[in-house]
Chains A and B, each alone.
Chain A
Amino acid sequence: MTILFRRTRALEAQIDQFLDAVSEGCLVFEKGVDDYLRHDEPSFEERRKAIGVFEGKADALRREVETRLYAESLIPDHRGDVLGLLENLDNVIDQAKQTLGQFEVERPEIPEELAPDYLALARACVQATQHLVDSCRAFFREITAVRSHIHKVYFFEKEADRLADGLKRKIFAMDLELARKIHLRYFCFHVETLSDRAEGVADRLAIYTIKRTI
């Protein structure tokens, strides 16, 4: 029995490691935004490098899992769904990495009074990604629990929308140059995109879950 499941267990572990990488990468994103807003430059730089490592690890694991699923003709009826799921999850951590990179390159000047709003927005987005990772874990092990996690993804995505809307209104109500306002709005949009990506994956997962019932 051990021989029969040895290869399966190794692949299960790789999928879990991939999900861990996505989850930790998104948590690092939140910390990175916090560091940037607090002007803690060394810590921000450390987070930016760390998210790159998590993104690279997730990429490598995804490719390995995909290759093994095809090479060993595993889960023929769900292979396409699982591959789609992993690729879209990979896009989530890619988005987090890109956004943190844009903070580093463009150095937006965020007024002190807007810092809590940016942080709250980043937290809501990261909450959405964490519940998304939980729903993906449930998809593999506990199909009945997927719905409750997806429901939370949708909740935090809406919360992020609400916070982003409020933040944009605040930005454009401030006495700032138009170019700076647009720049600040642009970063609000970048952070918010993370929750939109999470919502997109959750939508796909909801369909995959229906298909997974025997």
Chain B
Amino acid sequence: MSWLFLTSGLFLGWSLGANDAANLFGTAVATRMLKFRTAALVGGVFVVIGAWAGAQGTSETLGRLGTIDAPAGAFVVALAAAAAVVLLLTRSGLPVSITQAIVGAILGWNLFNGKATDLKTLTQLLSSWLLSPLLAGLIAAGLFLVARRFLQRRRVHLLEVDAWTRTALLVVGAFGAFSLGLNDIANVMGVFVRVSPFPAETAIGPLRFTSVELLFLLGGIAIAVGIATYSGRVMVRLGSGLASLSPLAGLLVVLAAGLVLFIFGSPALQRLLRTAGLPGWPLVPVSATQAVVGAIVGTALVRRSGIRLKPLGQIAIGWVAAPAAALVFALVGLFVVQNVFELPVSATPRPAAGARVVAGSAS
């Protein structure tokens, strides 16, 4: 039965692969710099590696927001997030993110079960949503200026630029896919960490996996399947619509977005910063789509090519609409699962009526 509950997470992973991975290879595939088959293979492999490597990263932050401790609860939370994303993406075309939807769904679970929400973690998450497109824009603008100066000074032939870009699109796409897996695996499988159906340690051949590693590996595979089965169509649509980016500009945008996902998702980088006596960056799942939009706006500002304000407004709407929709779906879903199917959605029942919930005091 507990295996069945994982299906909503796997669906969420598939949807992430189909949509967010398209951001990474969209320009390359749409301009035919890369074949879709190559992009899907490289993207799939590196997203799985990233997801496995991300076992210690951003899921801890989501865990602090809400410790979902019943399989049915985790199932509903992941399903509500997926439903919110699918609804908002297909009905209104908003660039909403699974990242924001899952937070809304977790808050819904907290609310339904009378659990307190860690306000510090919530603030960290909210500020990172704002920060990630800003940072991506800043990095993309910097990369753009450096690339432009380099190409002007070195007098690189148009065909050589093309050959370099082609290779770099594959390498940077692989890095982006790794960072996507690293950062966003928590969105897909984070809510199942406490209720994993896997034993504490599993040996597959010479390799030993912890329960969480195996869970994230499975999530990574779901993302890879999403890339292989559906992202091609999204890539062509997105790549030809992304402000008609040239392959080189597209490359810089993907690199900037990949760096942002890596910065917000890498425990190794955090340890390195702390070792060097620098403040550690919070490990927070951020949206790849919104990082890409931020990077595009950053390059547009540097090129002085003018920016359309509509995508920025849509991001801001997405920040509110996605978590709000997911919260409502989670509340409804949890109510149905608990009262119609009579499945426990939390291991610790809701405190008696009248009991006061204090922020940070929940177990």
- Residues of A at under 8 Å CB distance from B? 4-5, 8, 11-12, 15, 73-78, 82, 139-144, 212-214
Contacts and interface: CB of A to CB of B under 8 A. Distances in A.
B158 A212 contact: yes
Nearest to A11: B159
Interface in B20-35: 31-33
Most buried by B among A76, A77, A213: A77
Contacts of B160: 5, 8, 12
9 A-B pairs with least C-beta separation: A76-B31, A8-B163, A75-B162, A8-B159, A142-B155, A141-B155, A140-B158, A77-B246, A214-B248
Contact of A75 (B151, B155, B158, B303): B158
A140 B247 contact: no
A185 to B, nearest CB: 42
Contacts of B144: 214
Given A5-B160, A76-B32, A144-B152, 13 more contacts: A5-B163, A8-B163, A12-B157, A73-B33, A77-B31, A77-B246, A78-B158, A140-B157, A141-B156, A142-B155, A212-B158, A213-B148, A214-B246
Given A143-B152, A214-B148, A77 B247 contact: yes
Contacts of A140: 157-159
Interface string B144-172: 10011001100111111011000100000
B249 interface: yes
Interface in B329-357: none
Q: How large is the interface on B (under 10, 10 to 19, 20 to 34, 35 or more residues)?
A: 20 to 34
B63 to A, nearest CB: 42
A27 to B, nearest CB: 24
Q: Interface residues of A: mostly helix, strand, loop or mixed?
A: helix
B164 to A, nearest CB: 9
Nearest to A68: B159
Q: Tell me if B's interface is mostly helix, strand, loop or mixed.
A: helix
Given A5-B160, A141-B155, A73 B32 contact: yes
Contacts of A8: 157, 159-160, 162-163
A76 B30 CA distance: 10
A11 B31 CA distance: 20
Contacts of A144: 152
Nearest to A138: B155
Nearest to B163: A8
A78 B33 CA distance: 12
B159 A75 contact: yes
B30 to A, nearest CB: 9
25 contacts: A5-B160, A8-B157, A8-B159, A11-B159, A12-B157, A12-B160, A15-B159, A73-B33, A74-B159, A75-B158, A76-B32, A76-B247, A77-B247, A141-B155, A141-B156, A141-B158, A142-B152, A142-B155, A143-B152, A144-B152, A213-B148, A214-B147, A214-B246, A214-B248, A214-B249
Most chain B C-beta atoms within 10 Å of own C-beta, residue among A74, A75, A142, A212:
A75
Contact of A76 (B33, B151, B167, B249): B33
A15 B158 CA distance: 11
Nearest to A142: B155
A11 B32 CA distance: 19
A214 to B, nearest CB: 5
B53 to A, nearest CB: 29
B255 to A, nearest CB: 13
Contacts of A73: 32-33
Contacts of B151: 143, 214
Contacts of A15: 159
A4 B171 CA distance: 14
B35 to A, nearest CB: 9
Contacts of A213: 148, 303
Contacts of A141: 155-158
Contact of A12 (B33, B155, B159): B159
Interface string B17-61: 000000000000001110000000000000000000000000000
Contacts of A82: 158
B153 to A, nearest CB: 10
A53 to B, nearest CB: 26
Nearest to B35: A73
A86 to B, nearest CB: 13
Nearest to A73: B32
Contacts of B162: 8, 74-75
Contacts of B157: 8, 12, 140-141
Contacts of A143: 151-152
Interface string B120-147: 0000000000000000000000001001
A214 B249 CA distance: 6
A8 B248 CA distance: 17
Contacts of B33: 73, 76
A21 B32 CA distance: 32
B253 to A, nearest CB: 11
Contacts of B248: 214
A75 B156 CA distance: 14
A214 B248 CA distance: 7
